[in-house]
Amino acid sequence: MNGNFFNTHIGGSVFFLKVDGQVVNRTHDELDGTLFLPWLDTAAMAISGNKVAVIIKPADISWTGYHDTFPAIISAGPLLVWKNKVVPQRAHKFNDTRYSRTGIGLTKSHHLLVIAVDGNAKESAGVTTAEFPKLFKALKCVSA
């Protein structure tokens, strides 16, 4: 799952965030196509006690009230790896351009990996969303 996105105009997250069972931020789907792309809000990291999971959201449901069993959820996307398979990415400037990216992945043995790839320094190239899942797979992630 590629990190979360922040509204640089007014501050705060663009996507859904729930902490300790309380919704802190809803998905701002009213924002235009530069700050919100609906197909990026398809996956989330969910936490309940010591259990961490990558979950997916059906297209016709909002995150509010969904997965009540998880008191902490941060939605993000796109989904990169699901059930040990790389998820194909749609053609779009956001996906096809090498940027700095942050993502989380889970291994089969339930180890949580948080990966950041720099794309800002002149020595770094960043990654596309088609390249990023290959890194998670190389590190044995079954979901990311």
Q: In which domain, by residue range, is 63 found? A: 17-143
Beta bridge partners of 30: none
Residue 12 belongs to a domain: no
Residue 98 belongs to a domain: yes
Name the strand (E) or helix (H) holding 138: helix 132-138
pLDDT 10s digits, 4-60 = 666 667 666 677 888 898 888 777 776 766 667 777 778 888 999 988 988 887 777
Residue 1 belongs to a domain: no
Residue 79 belongs to a domain: yes
Residue 77 belongs to a domain: yes
**DSSP assignment string, the chain:** -B---B-TTT-SBSS-EEETTEEEE---TTS-TTT--GGG-SEEEEEETTEEEEEE--TTS-STTTTTT-SEEEEE----EETTEEPP----HHHHS-B-EEEEEEETT--EEEEEE--SSTT---B-TTTHHHHHHHTTEEE-
pTM score: 0.84
Residue 96 belongs to a domain: yes
Residue 4 belongs to a domain: no
Question: How far is residue 121's CA from residue 134's CA, in Å, rounded to a whole number?
Answer: 22
pLDDT 10s digits, 87-141 = 999 999 988 999 999 999 999 999 999 999 998 888 999 999 999 999 999 999 9
Residue 7 belongs to a domain: no
The structural domain count of the chain equals: 1
